[in-house]
């Protein structure tokens, strides 16, 4: 019963809490949170949110953090919950494209995901809450940028399945196809094909403690003819284990936790690794009946090393400053919530240009 109350507190405390990217950024994207944005990780989370429509502004979930618009909705029916979302980009796919684009000469670039569509369905099976997702994009850019980039195409297709109850949850995300290509002869008409994407996760509540583990692996092949003559493989492996304690406080929640995280990216040129022990603390409270305030701080401690052996000499860092702070606020107008957040900063300096680095407008039906 106490575990059930913890989950209820996470999803219901702070009235305008469901604010997607803005809320998650302000709270350091802590693994124990359930939000409108976490349905793209574990699609079973739709069962804990009610019906909603949301519009997103600000930074994207991609490696470069390029701002773009997105939004969608979730509704209930007699056959379960279903929803659609427009513009959600895959951070893993775009990170692969960023890695390749950095190696291409001149200003030539392969396309990242464009106009993505996500479909989500949730139902109850065997006494458990299940969710299923489909991710799709298919775009072309021909004619306008031929001189700089050539005629370009990009397409992606993936799916997900998740299950959640009040004690534990698990999910699997997988990529079925993924390809981005250009016919620019100056760089050998490059083509990047993603050969596989598997993202697994599991979480478990032990009283107020949330323990979770994540594992992601994905591979891709870059080919380009003369004059570049490239045929190389790219592989990313990412895994982490964490524990978070969520404490109920007057009007909200305070949480703190630690996780071990390791990321490895292999190319034919070498290997880039990052290993760390980041700690995270955050708080979210109802300041008034119509406003919620939230913030977090994150820093790697004791163990924090990055290494890139593709360069000469080898590049290596250990526990360089990465203290990141973020803060946000949400305003509630009846069933409508308007939320914004300060951009995460490693300096602590407030920049007027980042006062609304992310903003969300959410209506709860």
Residues 144-198: tens digit of each pLDDT = 778 788 889 999 999 999 999 999 999 999 998 899 999 888 888 888 998 888 9
Q: Which one has a higher pLDDT value, 342 or 226?
A: 226
Beta strands in the chain (DSSP E): 52-58, 70-77, 80-86, 117-125, 128-141, 152-164, 168-182, 191-206, 209-224, 230-249, 252-267, 270-288, 291-308, 315-318, 324-333, 336-341, 358-364
Provide the pLDDT for residue 227: 81
Confidence of residue 352 (pLDDT cuts 50, 70, 90): low
- pLDDT per position as a tens digit, 266-306: 888 788 899 999 999 999 999 999 999 999 999 999 888 88
Are 253 and 244 in contact, with CB atoms under 8 Å apart? no
Phi, psi torsion values for 2, nearest 5 degrees:
-65, -35
Q: Show the domains of the chain with their CATH numbers.
A: 2-364 (2.40.160)
109: Cβ contacts below 8 Å, ≥ 6 apart: 101, 149
Provide the pLDDT for residue 224: 86
Rg of the chain on CA atoms, in Å: 21
| Highest mean pLDDT of the ranges 32-36, 89-93, 98-102, 306-310 | 32-36
The residues pairing with 329 across neighbouring beta strands, listed in sequence order, are: 293, 340
| Highest mean pLDDT of the ranges 5-9, 45-49, 310-314, 336-340 | 45-49
The residues pairing with 276 across neighbouring beta strands, listed in sequence order, are: 261, 304
In the three-class reduction of DSSP (H, G, I as helix; E, B as strand; rest coil), residue 143 is classed as: coil
- pLDDT per position as a tens digit, 53-72: 999 887 554 444 455 789 99
Q: Is 316 exposed, middle or buried (0-12, 13-18, 19+ CB in 10 A)?
A: exposed
In the predicted structure, residue 9 carries a pLDDT above the cut 50: no
Provide the pLDDT for residue 57: 81
Overall average pLDDT of the 317-326 stretch: 87
Q: Which one has a higher pLDDT value, 58 or 327?
A: 327
The residues pairing with 275 across neighbouring beta strands, listed in sequence order, are: 262, 305
Q: Is 119 exposed, middle or buried (0-12, 13-18, 19+ CB in 10 A)?
A: middle
In the three-class reduction of DSSP (H, G, I as helix; E, B as strand; rest coil), residue 167 is classed as: coil
Are 197 and 173 in contact, with CB atoms under 8 Å apart? yes
Q: What is the number of other CB atoms lying within 10 angstroms of the CB of residue 150?
A: 21
Confidence of residue 110 (pLDDT cuts 50, 70, 90): confident
Q: Please name the residue that has the structure tokens 């492996």.
A: 237
pTM of the model: 0.86
Are 12 and 364 in contact, with CB atoms under 8 Å apart? no
DSSP annotation of 272 reads E
Provide the pLDDT for residue 239: 96
Half-sphere exposure of 25 (CA within 13 A, CB side): 30
For β-strands 252-267 and 230-249, DSSP reports them as antiparallel
Alpha-carbon gap, residue 220 to 179, rounded angstroms: 9
Provide the pLDDT for residue 353: 56
- pLDDT per position as a tens digit, 223-260: 888 887 878 888 999 999 999 999 999 989 999 999 99
Alpha-carbon gap, residue 203 to 166, rounded angstroms: 11
Alpha helices by DSSP H, listed for 27-123, are 91-101
In the predicted structure, residue 213 carries a pLDDT above the cut 50: yes
Q: What is the number of other CB atoms lying within 10 angstroms of the CB of residue 252?
A: 19
| Highest mean pLDDT of the ranges 125-129, 191-195, 244-248, 310-314 | 244-248
By residue count, the chain amounts to 365
Are 227 and 188 in contact, with CB atoms under 8 Å apart? yes
Provide the pLDDT for residue 253: 95
Phi, psi torsion values for 20, nearest 5 degrees:
55, -130
In the predicted structure, residue 6 carries a pLDDT above the cut 70: no
Percentage with pLDDT > 70 across the chain: 87
For the ranges 1-15, 75-89, 253-267, the lowest mean pLDDT is seen at 1-15
In the predicted structure, residue 14 carries a pLDDT above the cut 80: no
Alpha-carbon gap, residue 4 to 16, rounded angstroms: 21
Provide the pLDDT for residue 18: 46
Cα dihedral value 135, 140, 141, 146, nearest 10: 130
In the three-class reduction of DSSP (H, G, I as helix; E, B as strand; rest coil), residue 271 is classed as: strand
Degrees, nearest 5: CA angle 41-69-81: 45
Question: Rounded mean pLDDT of the chain?
Answer: 85
Alpha-carbon gap, residue 340 to 19, rounded angstroms: 9
């Amino acid at each position: 019963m106490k575990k059930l109350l913890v989950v209820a507190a996470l999803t219901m405390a702070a009235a305008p809490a469901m604010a997607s990217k803005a809320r998650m950024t302000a709270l350091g994207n802590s693994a124990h949170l359930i939000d409108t944005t976490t349905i793209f990780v574990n699609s079973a989370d739709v069962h804990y949110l009610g019906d909603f429509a949301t519009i997103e502004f600000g930074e994207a979930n991609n490696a470069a953090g390029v701002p773009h618009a997105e939004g969608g909705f979730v509704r209930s029916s007699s056959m379960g919950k279903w929803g659609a979302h427009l513009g959600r980009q895959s951070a893993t796919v775009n990170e692969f494209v960023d890695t390749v684009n950095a190696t291409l000469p001149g200003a030539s670039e392969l396309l990242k995901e464009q106009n993505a569509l996500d479909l989500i369905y949730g139902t109850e099976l065997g006494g458990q809450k299940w969710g299923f997702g489909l991710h799709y994009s298919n775009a072309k850019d021909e004619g306008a940028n031929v001189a700089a980039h050539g005629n370009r195409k990009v397409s992606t297709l993936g799916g997900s399945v998740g299950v959640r109850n009040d004690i534990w949850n698990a999910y699997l995300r997988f990529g079925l196809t993924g390809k981005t290509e250009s016919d620019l002869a100056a760089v050998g008409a490059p083509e990047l094909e993603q050969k596989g994407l598997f993202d697994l996760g599991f979480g478990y509540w032990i009283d107020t403690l949330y323990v979770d583990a994540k594992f992601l692996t994905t591979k891709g092949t870059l080919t380009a003819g003369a004059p570049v003559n490239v045929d190389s493989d790219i592989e990313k492996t990412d895994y982490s284990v964490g524990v978070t304690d969520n404490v109920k406080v007057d009007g909200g929640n305070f949480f703190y936790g630690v996780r071990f995280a390791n990321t490895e990216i292999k190319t034919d040129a070498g290997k880039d690794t990052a290993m760390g022990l980041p700690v995270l603390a955050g708080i979210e409270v109802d300041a008034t009946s119509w406003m919620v305030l939230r913030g977090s701080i994150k820093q790697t401690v004791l163990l924090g090393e990055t290494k890139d052996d593709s360069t000469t000499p080898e590049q290596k860092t250990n526990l360089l400053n990465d203290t990141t702070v973020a803060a946000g606020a949400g305003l509630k107008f009846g069933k409508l919530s308007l939320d914004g957040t300060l951009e995460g900063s490693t300096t602590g300096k407030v920049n007027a240009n980042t006062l609304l680095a992310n903003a969300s407008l959410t209506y709860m039906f």
